[in-house]
Structure 1
Amino acid sequence: MKKQGMFRLLAGTAAVLAAAPVAAQTAPSATEVSPAVQDEIVVTAQRRQERVVDVPISITVASAAQLERQQVNTVNDLARISPSLEIQQAPGQNTGGGGSLRGIGTQTFSAGSVASVGIVVDQVSQGNANISDLFDVARIEVLKGPQGTLFGLTTSAGVINITTNAPDPTQFSARLRTELSNEGTLGSGFGNQVVQGMVNVPLSADAALRVSGFGNLRQGPNRNATTGDLNDTNRWGGRARLLWRNDKLTLNLIGDYSKTTTENGGDFFTFVRAGGPGPFFGGAGFDPLGITARLASCGVTPGEGNRNYCIANGFRGRAESYGVSLQAEYAFEPFTLTSITAYRGSTEKGGGAATNVFRGDPLELQVANGLVDRRVSLFTQELRLSSPSSNTIEYTAGLFYSRQVQDRDPESLRVTLRPAPGVVIPIATQLGATDHIYDESYAAFGQATIHVTKALRLIAGGRYTNARLGLDRVSLDSPANPNYAQRQENNVFSYRVGAQYDLNPTTMVYATASRGFKGGQIATPALPLTPYVVRPEIPRAYELGLKSTLFGGWVLDLNAFYQNIKDFQAQSCTTIQNTGAISCVQQNINGVKSRGAEINLFGRVTEGLSVNTGFLWAKATYPSNFLGTDGTQIGGTQLAYAPEYKFTFSGEYEAPLSDSINGFIAADTVWKSRIRYEANSRIETTYRPHWLVGGRIGARFDHDRFQVALFARNLFNQHEPLLYQSDFPYNGTQNVGAIYGPQSFRQIGLSLDAKF
């Protein structure tokens, strides 16, 4: 979106807000909530509603108010709400979208893989057809450690449990909120216009419909130096939720859809280090100009924070995500029976991020992938029985089934050498393969809490899973023997046991031990490698924790943890020396460990002051004698993508300026220790310790019906990357590529909000 488009959007939004007071004058007042209830933080981490201070799991909770003040609009933004959570946004790499917790996650390009950190929205696992944007959300819970006993699918390292706002049969309501910035305005490094809206319509005393939608339009941060245009990444979508209930039965029918379009690869590689004249391909060739000079000829200067590339022929990619679920909850005394039937799907078509890997027309080496056509479908069915919360033994038991299918059409690879204008020398050509991958599981699960005394409770739970994984491949590069099949089946029991004790009415301590399970993979590497099995990942985790309520509403969550992982699923990416293509190989690593401690404080401290803050120490390491991709010994050192230390702070102070106007000031800050991006010893592909500082200042009018604020994110313009890759395309650390996203540059803009 160009400047005039941004200002038209701003003007239209302002017009709506200006007209809003007329409607607001007749709108019903908000439901009154007593301070005692208001201060309670309720979660569903154990598949039933409980106070967060009663749950023996380390949880970071973010309310709707916190998510909005931190401008958490996408799943990728969630890394700012919890010190234990990291989400790497490199295209195609962060399988399942859930990132990592306490340093443990799954970073892979392999089609036959699932996430270690699951995303669950309104009790539905998203699998690999996950959502991207967050809107009309009531609460997000980040659950740390294996959660497979109750959540099952893709939860061996933890869960991001998202609850959206339910329809309200008691009153009509509507809302419009925006966040507007423009590249170059007030020092903003890129443009982003976020618009979210909601309408809640009562249908009867027992039914209501809630429809919400969003548009997220971004210009940059990547820029094509050949055309001068910022890359556009545009997403839009919506969700509809129908609620009907009576004394015993509650039904929720939920559907969602989103679409994304990207230009020229979106957030993809740019050069941050480049060499001059010299040999390449291990001395097999010699470049008399060098990459630095070639890039300079099209207006690109490598260096930290370089977001420029240069291509004459652009391309576009598009993706869709959608889903529907029917949730039925039936109360028959004294039990509650819950059924959740869900289907999710996603598609990706057109020019993918790797269509032009180096995005530099003057380079002598060109690596290009063909157009992509990928489809994912996921069906899940859960049946769950819950006992009353007042019994001596509280329990939840159930059955779960899932089937995820991924299909990929052939994706070609073409590597060429262009030593002089008009001279093109083919180096390698691959036609690709058709892949059909299915991942099916059956499970029976249960968990019980036994009230031994009023203060002492014991916890025991287990899950038995039968997981089946299969790949059918038809290769276009092996006409004599094109068909290939691979199968894997696992029967696994995972568990959770522990105890919790109330020291006093506001403080609880707990200890737990758990064994998780993450299904295997069938890796699908590039030729000449053939698909192969990556064994399931089995974590064993131990946790000691304390939870307490301070100042009548602020929650303290303190914990120490230790986790040892058998057959950790890792990925190592290197450059093939005779082609310059990037090859990523999946492997099992035995003996990966994560241990450390974390403290979180969240909620309302006093009237007008809310603070959510936390600090994490997580020593997540490779096993001893582990060799890195550069051949060096890196055993005992920190895992890639996992800062050892991380601090988060989000706070807001609100005070009255008049009878109808409240002013507020908010801060949003993250500090991370050094991050490595490759499994090797190269300091050039690490990023230094750094602060990311942001905040808002503004005012709320007419009892919070309207709000206006000036916001800043990454105020000091720290260029933290999503990814570094050495040997880009050859010669080790002489040439390094980086992927930068919106968190890598400063953003300053205006936010507007109206409630009706």
Structure 2
Amino acid sequence: MIARKILLASVAGLSFLSPAAFAQAAPADAAPDQADAASSPRGDVIVVTARRRTETAQEVPLAISVIRGDSIEATGNFNVVKLQQLAPTLQVYTTNPRNTSVNIRGLGVPFGLTSDGFEQGVGIYVDDVYNSRVAAATFDFLDVAQVEVLRGPQGTLYGKNTTAGAINITTNQPTFDFEGRAEVTAGNLNYKQAKAAISGPLTDRIAARVAVATTSRRGTLYNVTSRRWINEQDNLGIRGQLLFQPTEDLSITLSGDYSKQDPECCGTTFVRVGTTQRPITRQYDELVKAINANPNPAYPGRVYQVPSRNPYDRLSDLDSNLNAGNKIGGASLKVKWNVGSGTLTSVTAWRFWDWKPENDRDFTGLSIVSKSQNPSQQDQYSQEFRYNYESQKIDFVVGLFGFKQRIDTQGTEQQGADAARWSLTGANAANPATLQGLTASNTQYLKADSAALFGQLSWKVTDALTIQPGVRLNYDKKSGYYQRVVTNAQGQAISCTATPAPGTIAGTSSQCGVYQPQVSAPSDSAWNFTYDFNVNYKVTRDVLAYATYAKSFKTLGINQNGLPLNADNTVNYDASTVKPESVNHFEVGLKTQFWDRRATFNLSAFRTEIKNFQATVNGGQFGTVRGYLANAQKVRSQGIEADFKVVVSDRFTAYANGAFTDAKYKKFTNAPCPPELSGGTITTNPALWSPAGQAGTTANPSYSRPQCDISGQDLPGVSKWAFSYGAEYNIPAHLLDKDGQVYLGVDGNYRSHWNSNASPSIYTEVKGYALTNLRAGFRGEGFDVFGWVRNVFDVNYIENLQVAPGNTGLIAGQVGDPQTWGGTIKVSF
């Protein structure tokens, strides 16, 4: 406590922190503009590889955010989930590593519980290797040199199609000069982090680099049932690289990495209850009263109540096991061969993903769903050949990409001792054995194959005018298999058809209303041709204007996690596949530098229209364990983004980024209804539909819609307004017999309100929030020592809200991190 007060006092008056992107030295073969800027202490040069060649960020005619590795570490943004605090148009939401949404401008991944059957629209690349699972985004950054966030379609530049953008992560590479770095951090909540990297020559032609990182932290929710803190961090990562450079024109890099997470995670807390259209007796509070009034013999003396109705008390009572075991790794071989005026690159990669979760799917301390787990194993293989050519008038990139993936999943969901009282009525509700032990076991696999030929040409018509067309030919094939077997408490397989299948018995209506056996084997394939066209004009040496049109697509999707039920409790097999998305994208932008290149101001405006948008939806049924995919007829995202950065002097730097994003369902007439409009007696007669949030009674039932028209409503997960800022001030100092700088800093971000349900609900509205972080330290050549406070004002905010299954009106959520503080020591040589 004393240490905390001292640290807070030392930074309480500070208002500066390093900007999100610092200058990177221009390479030896940099263009004249790059070299000129690099030679000036006022020049701010950020070198990127966004277009598969080395150039400055200000030369790239697209919207791009660049965050250097040292800035990532300084601001505590140690993975992609945290990176959104520096890049306003990046939205990353996660309920666990598997269920992570990475979107740009509100587009990319269907927001909500994840299905293996769709493609992500935001490609995540690490050293040119495509990571097909968004789960990779939840790992700690490991020896990262730079992160580039490319906004808008990038399919003519990258192997895998990227309809919303790409996150291009570059790690530090092996060096022929011996170097190393180490970093140790400790903070409250028992936070501990250590990182180390070492690089150097093995021979005059071979160099190696090894990096390791480990992070642990106590959980932020206290589970009164298990008497443990949950939602902890427990991460370990290691990366090794071997560089063979037989000649100046040829380099071969062999890389391998392994990352592991093993936390007790990811639990929720009670947030609120909203009224649905179910009968009053079937609402959350009345159900709890009924359970307490009719004690379950399995829990003698129990009187259930949620530990707190204030989510910021950070209390939970989940009674099922929690686990988020997550392993990701792989190996790659990258060959670069300079051939005349061009470079031939080959990237061969294999990656694996092993996911071992345990969840509490009823979000309560009651034994409604007693077991829920959906472990998966993935193998992916990719091969990319790419040729880059550069000349005075013509530059081009042409590539060939192949991808193969298989995911196997074995899921189990089981009803508990309180399930009957929670889900049934009458005599069936009074008998716990009606549903207790009812188990849905699924076996599934997904096979995905993809091949693409892509290319982009830059024609310098004049010294100022460049025309840049790009094309892409893509083939995708997907085939899946899903089988759900439902067994009763005695282990007997049940059927829900008029004539039971051989080896099964007839299930009761109560059992079949919760779980039904299913078998589906969707398969489909598609060819797609897409293109983009960019015109950019250099108004002056430091002012670039550009305009882009892109016609892109996201390939077909298949539902892999169970299909929804129709109103008559039959399986809706029409939902097994979803159509490809068709994307039309328009963008204009302006990139400027002024004040002797001390200041940078970039502006972009965009409009993206998508037909057959792939949305993740959930109708509140227990049986659709992970939600399912459906096509919204039309979606539109439009907005304006601005990025400003200034290097006032060697002593003071600052940045400010902002984005306005208006992302809406333009037409979605057959969406599942939000909880306030669901749960009643379904009717197609609009004259009978009940108002939102009105419960029914036996005498006067509520009537709900079979589907809802949510056209015109906002896309989930998108804040209309988002800002980030930061600044740093330093002064020369001589401390501890060392010369260096004392520096003071601040960074922060703001996001306006957003909705976390695929069909926006009045109950899942997340309030906007602003976070502020401070740090102060002393650095010199080869060392950096600083203290930090994150979420300085201990702001209470919600990261995600979820609608509990069963249409009871229960809304659970995950609260954001409280105020955290600590200190870091970094050394390098």
Point out the more displaced range, 281-290 or 594-603. 281-290
What secondary structure sits across from 1:637 in the alignment? coil
Which residue in the other structure is 2:724 paired with? 648
Is the Cα–Cα contact under 8 Å of residues 121 and 554 in structure 2 kept in the other structure? yes
Which residue in the other structure is 1:98 paired with? 102
Query: Which residue identity does 1:565 align to in structure 2?
Result: I
* Equivalent runs, 1:323-722 vs 2, <5 Å: 323-349=330-356, 351-352=357-358, 354=359, 356-358=360-362, 360-361=364-365, 363=366, 366-388=368-390, 390-417=391-418, 424-427=432-435, 429-477=438-486, 484-526=520-562, 528=565, 529=571, 530=573, 532-551=576-595, 552-576=597-621, 584-602=627-645, 604-624=647-667, 626=669, 629-630=673-674, 631=677, 634-658=710-734, 660-680=739-759, 682-700=761-779, 703-722=780-799
Is the Cα–Cα contact under 8 Å of residues 271 and 306 in structure 1 kept in the other structure? no
The alpha-carbon deviation at position 92 of structure 1 amounts to 5.3
Is the Cα–Cα contact under 8 Å of residues 270 and 306 in structure 1 kept in the other structure? no
- Residue 99 and residue 596 in structure 1: after superposition, are their counterparts in 2 closer, same or farther (change >3 A)? closer
- CA deviation string 1:574-607 (max 9, x = no partner): 423xx69866232111220011110012474431
Query: Which residue identity does 2:792 align to in structure 1?
Result: L
Question: Separation in 1 of the partners of 2:546 and 2:383?
Answer: 32
Query: Which residue identity does 1:427 align to in structure 2?
Result: L
- Residue 441 and residue 605 in structure 1: after superposition, are their counterparts in 2 closer, same or farther (change >3 A)? farther
Which residue in the other structure is 1:162 paired with? 169
The alpha-carbon deviation at position 255 of structure 1 amounts to 0.6
- Residue 395 and residue 543 in structure 1: after superposition, are their counterparts in 2 closer, same or farther (change >3 A)? same
Question: Separation in 1 of the partners of 2:652 and 2:418?
Answer: 61
- CA deviation string 1:240-299 (max 9, x = no partner): 111222221011111100111121xx13221112599x9543699854367999998577
Question: Separation in 2 of the partners of 1:296 and 1:193?
Answer: 39
What secondary structure sits across from 2:71 in the alignment? helix
The alpha-carbon deviation at position 144 of structure 1 amounts to 0.3
- Residue 580 and residue 152 in structure 1: after superposition, are their counterparts in 2 closer, same or farther (change >3 A)? closer
The alpha-carbon deviation at position 656 of structure 1 amounts to 1.1
Which residue in the other structure is 1:74 paired with? 79
What secondary structure sits across from 1:175 in the alignment? strand
Which residue in the other structure is 1:724 paired with? 801
Choose the corresponding residue for 1:737, options 809, 812, 824: 812
Query: Which residue identity does 1:157 align to in structure 2?
Result: A
Which residue in the other structure is 1:187 paired with? none
- CA deviation string 1:17-71 (max 9, x = no partner): xxxxxxxxxxxxxx99844697321111111111111111100111122212211
Is the Cα–Cα contact under 8 Å of residues 98 and 118 in structure 1 kept in the other structure? no
Is the Cα–Cα contact under 8 Å of residues 603 and 643 in structure 2 kept in the other structure? yes
Is the Cα–Cα contact under 8 Å of residues 222 and 308 in structure 1 kept in the other structure? yes
Question: Separation in 2 of the partners of 1:605 and 1:570?
Answer: 45
The alpha-carbon deviation at position 542 of structure 1 amounts to 0.6
Point out the more displaced range, 430-439 or 322-331. 430-439
The alpha-carbon deviation at position 153 of structure 1 amounts to 1.7
Is the Cα–Cα contact under 8 Å of residues 696 and 710 in structure 1 kept in the other structure? yes
- Residue 117 and residue 306 in structure 1: after superposition, are their counterparts in 2 closer, same or farther (change >3 A)? farther
- Residue 169 and residue 38 in structure 1: after superposition, are their counterparts in 2 closer, same or farther (change >3 A)? farther
What secondary structure sits across from 1:200 in the alignment? strand
- The answer to whether structure 1 residue 302 and structure 2 residue 301 are counterparts is no
Question: Separation in 2 of the partners of 1:144 and 1:468?
Answer: 27
- The answer to whether structure 1 residue 748 and structure 2 residue 824 are counterparts is no
Identity of aligned residues (%): 26
Question: Separation in 2 of the partners of 1:697 and 1:675?
Answer: 33
- Residue 51 and residue 342 in structure 1: after superposition, are their counterparts in 2 closer, same or farther (change >3 A)? same
Q: Which has the larger radius of gyration?
A: 2
Point out the more displaced range, 232-241 or 449-458. 232-241
Is the Cα–Cα contact under 8 Å of residues 618 and 624 in structure 2 kept in the other structure? no
Point out the more displaced range, 136-145 or 194-203. 194-203
- TM-score, normalised by the number of residues in structure 1: 0.86
Question: Separation in 1 of the partners of 2:68 and 2:204?
Answer: 27
What secondary structure sits across from 1:80 in the alignment? coil
Is the Cα–Cα contact under 8 Å of residues 570 and 589 in structure 1 kept in the other structure? yes
* Equivalent runs, 1:20-59 vs 2, <5 Å: 34-35=39-40, 39-59=44-64
Question: Separation in 2 of the partners of 1:110 and 1:210?
Answer: 36
Which residue in the other structure is 2:182 paired with? 176
Question: Separation in 2 of the partners of 1:520 and 1:467?
Answer: 8
- Residue 556 and residue 116 in structure 1: after superposition, are their counterparts in 2 closer, same or farther (change >3 A)? same
Which residue in the other structure is 2:240 paired with? 240
Query: Which residue identity does 1:368 align to in structure 2?
Result: S
The alpha-carbon deviation at position 391 of structure 1 amounts to 2.9
Which residue in the other structure is 1:133 paired with? 140
Query: Which residue identity does 1:673 align to in structure 2?
Result: S
Is the Cα–Cα contact under 8 Å of residues 42 and 649 in structure 2 kept in the other structure? no
Is the Cα–Cα contact under 8 Å of residues 653 and 666 in structure 1 kept in the other structure? yes
Is the Cα–Cα contact under 8 Å of residues 404 and 440 in structure 1 kept in the other structure? yes
What secondary structure sits across from 2:776 in the alignment? strand
Point out the more displaced range, 199-208 or 642-651. 199-208
- CA deviation string 1:196-252 (max 9, x = no partner): 111112223333111001101121112211343212331101101112222210111
Is the Cα–Cα contact under 8 Å of residues 384 and 399 in structure 1 kept in the other structure? yes
Question: Separation in 1 of the partners of 2:39 and 2:310?
Answer: 56
> Mind listing any 5+ residue stretches in structure 1 that lack a counterpart?
8-30, 184-190
* Equivalent runs, 1:142-161 vs 2, <5 Å: 142-161=149-168
What secondary structure sits across from 1:262 in the alignment? coil
Query: Which residue identity does 1:357 align to in structure 2?
Result: R
Question: Separation in 2 of the partners of 1:291 and 1:273?
Answer: 20
What secondary structure sits across from 1:684 in the alignment? coil
- TM-score, normalised by the number of residues in structure 2: 0.79
- CA deviation string 1:394-428 (max 9, x = no partner): 111111100111111242332542669x9733437
Which residue in the other structure is 2:205 paired with? 206
Is the Cα–Cα contact under 8 Å of residues 226 and 298 in structure 1 kept in the other structure? no
Question: Separation in 2 of the partners of 1:414 and 1:638?
Answer: 35
Query: Which residue identity does 1:44 align to in structure 2?
Result: T
Query: Which residue identity does 2:311 align to in structure 1?
Result: E
